[in-house]
């Protein structure tokens, strides 16, 4: 297995196997009777073949090398034209769709423009769901509000619970047919958000809500909660248009498998984004054939969180079990994996706040710092592969950081192309 444990570093690369060889062409002709080697040139005598001067051998080799180079270039071109098929797999809320958004931003012909206006609605719903989760967490933990005057705001937000469940943020630009049109109307949602802004602003400034945010790990709170709540005045502006960062931070639940085409350095990639919920994983199998590589997403920050559908199970443990089943799947015996240990920014923040990895993973006995804990989790995931020779390229990622993702995509492209050339016998 190959990996690069250093955060932000470049990906490990697979060792090249074999190499190209050049055949030396010889000119054939009749034997020259009575010919003698000159004093200033070396000749080679072969049975039935004329002797060649050093210059002639050099010229023949150059021709042969040129032919080999041309054939190799042609095969590489054909390999590129065939493209590559990548799957992005992993549990829900690990950043799969965020990686896809980054690819659109970096390599899509129109970037994120086609989705910009639609994400306005998603951002508003994300902000409302964030303050709702914090309000629920405050009541569950019996944390008092700092200002008694905010009780009315809290009651207003809590009344959102049944209403927000009727809103669909599972697809961009398409109405969920199971939800009445009037409920998914963007204007109606925006109007509701604008009515909620005073309550959201007041509660987010309250010390009780801040304490809930800083201490609660079982809130089912989206990672972008602080980002949007800190920006409440900006996103509440009547002329608000989501920025690229807003779209990258916005949470949209994926409920279907979608195919996307990207041209990265002359290679056409077919990349599939899939829903990560347990109920949706049964739909992954039809996409397992002819896969060049798999990007498996892990949310390191989930080490202290229970699964959404089973609070008895740790999210990161469940992710390891899923990686075990995928990495050891019979269809992926020769498929290489790129392991994204994602959300390192949130992971670092939790460590800095005093959250102990050993509390959730008792087998860990090292220091509670970033360097040692990330190595521990990297090793745990690599241990899931039964085939110790399997190629797994590890990278610690911050998927909402466009600059870092650009470097990572370039590295992944290089890895995939090297693997393609090797599988076709060109390396």
Binding residue numbers for GTP? 93-98, 223-224, 248-254, 273-277, 342-345, 399
Structure tokens at 220: 């089912």
Cα 335 to Cα 293: distance, rounded to the nearest angstrom: 6
Tell me if residue 273 is catalytic.
Answer: yes
What span, in angstroms and rounded, lies between the C-alpha atoms of 290 and 392?
18
Q: Are 303 and 314 in contact (CB under 8 A)?
A: yes
- How far is residue 57's CA from residue 22's CA, in Å, rounded to a whole number? 13
The C-alpha atoms of residue 11 and residue 337 are separated, in whole angstroms, by 12
The DSSP string of 79-147 is HHHH-EEEEEE-STTSSHHHHHHHHHHHH-SSTTHHHHHHHHHHHHHHHHHHHHHHHHHHHHTTPPPSS
> Which residue among the candidates 189, 206, 246, 273 is catalytic per the annotation?
273
Q: Which of 98, 222, 384, 397 is catalytic?
A: 98
132 is catalytic: no
Please state the residue numbers annotated as binding site. Answer: 93-98, 223-224, 248-254, 273-277, 342-345, 399
Catalytic residue among 215, 243, 277, 317: 277
C-alpha count within 13 angstroms, C-beta hemisphere, residue 154: 19
Annotated catalytic residue within 115, 132, 246, 251:
251
Hey, what's the torsion of the CAs at 417, 421, 424, 427, to 10 degrees? Answer: -160
By C-alpha distance, which of 417, 397, 423, 399 is closest to 265?
Answer: 417
Active-site residue 189, yes or no?
no
Q: Are 88 and 100 in contact (CB under 8 A)?
A: yes
Q: Where are the alpha helices (DSSP H) in 141-231?
A: 151-158, 160-164, 186-204, 207-215, 225-230
Which one of 93, 189, 206, 304 is the catalytic residue? 93
Which amino acids are annotated as binding site for Mg(2+), given as ranges?
97, 254
CA–CA distance, 314 with 304 (Å, rounded to integer):
7
- Is residue 387 annotated as a catalytic residue, yes or no? no
277 catalytic residue (yes or no)? yes
| Whole-number Å distance between alpha carbons of 323 and 326 | 5
Active-site annotation, residues: 93, 98, 251, 273, 277
């Amino acid at each position: 297995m190959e990996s690069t444990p250093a955060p932000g570093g470049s990906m490990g690369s697979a060792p090249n196997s074999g190499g190209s060889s050049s055949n030396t062409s010889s000119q054939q002709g009749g034997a020259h009777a009575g010919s003698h080697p000159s004093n200033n040139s070396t000749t080679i005598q072969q049975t039935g073949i004329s002797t060649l001067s050093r210059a002639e051998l050099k010229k023949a080799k150059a021709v042969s090398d040129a032919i080999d180079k041309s054939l190799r270039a042609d095969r590489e071109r054909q390999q590129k034209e065939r493209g590559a098929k990548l799957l992005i797999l992993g549990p829900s809320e690990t950043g799969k769709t965020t990686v896809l958004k980054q690819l659109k931003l970096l390599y899509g012909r129109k970037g994120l423009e086609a989705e910009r206006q639609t994400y306005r609605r998603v951002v508003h719903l994300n902000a409302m769901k964030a303050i709702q989760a914090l309000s629920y967490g405050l009541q569950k933990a019996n944390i008092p509000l700092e200002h008694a005057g905010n009780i009315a705001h809290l009651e207003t937000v809590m009344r959102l619970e049944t209403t927000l469940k009727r809103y669909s943020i599972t697809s961009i630009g398409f109405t969920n047919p199971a939800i009445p049109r009037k409920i998914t109307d963007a204007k109606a949602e925006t109007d509701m958000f604008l009515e909620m802004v005073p309550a959201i602003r007041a509660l987010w400034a309250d010390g009780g809500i801040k304490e809930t945010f800083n201490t609660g790990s079982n809130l089912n709170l989206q990672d972008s909660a602080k980002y949007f709540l800190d920006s409440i005045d900006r996103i509440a502006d009547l002329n608000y248009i989501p920025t690229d960062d807003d779209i990258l931070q916005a949470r949209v639940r994926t409920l279907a498998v979608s195919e996307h085409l990207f041209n990265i350095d002359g290679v056409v990639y077919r990349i599939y984004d899939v829903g990560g919920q347990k109920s949706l994983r049964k739909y992954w199998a039809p996409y397992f054939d002819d896969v060049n590589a798999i990007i498996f997403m892990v949310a390191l920050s989930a080490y202290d969180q229970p699964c959404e559908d089973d609070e008895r199970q740790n999210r990161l443990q469940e992710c390891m079990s899923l990686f075990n089943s995928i990495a050891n799947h019979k269809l992926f015996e020769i498929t290489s994996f790129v392991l994204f240990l994602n959300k390192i920014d949130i992971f670092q923040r939790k460590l800095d706040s005093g959250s102990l990895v050993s509390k959730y993973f008792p087998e860990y006995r090292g220091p509670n710092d970033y360097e040692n804990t990330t190595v521990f989790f990297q090793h745990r995931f690599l241990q899931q592969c039964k085939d110790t020779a399997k190629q797994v390229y590890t990278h610690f990622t911050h998927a909402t950081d466009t600059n870092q993702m650009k470097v990572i995509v370039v590295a992944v492209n290089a890895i995939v192309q090297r693997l393609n050339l090797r599988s076709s016998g060109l390396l």
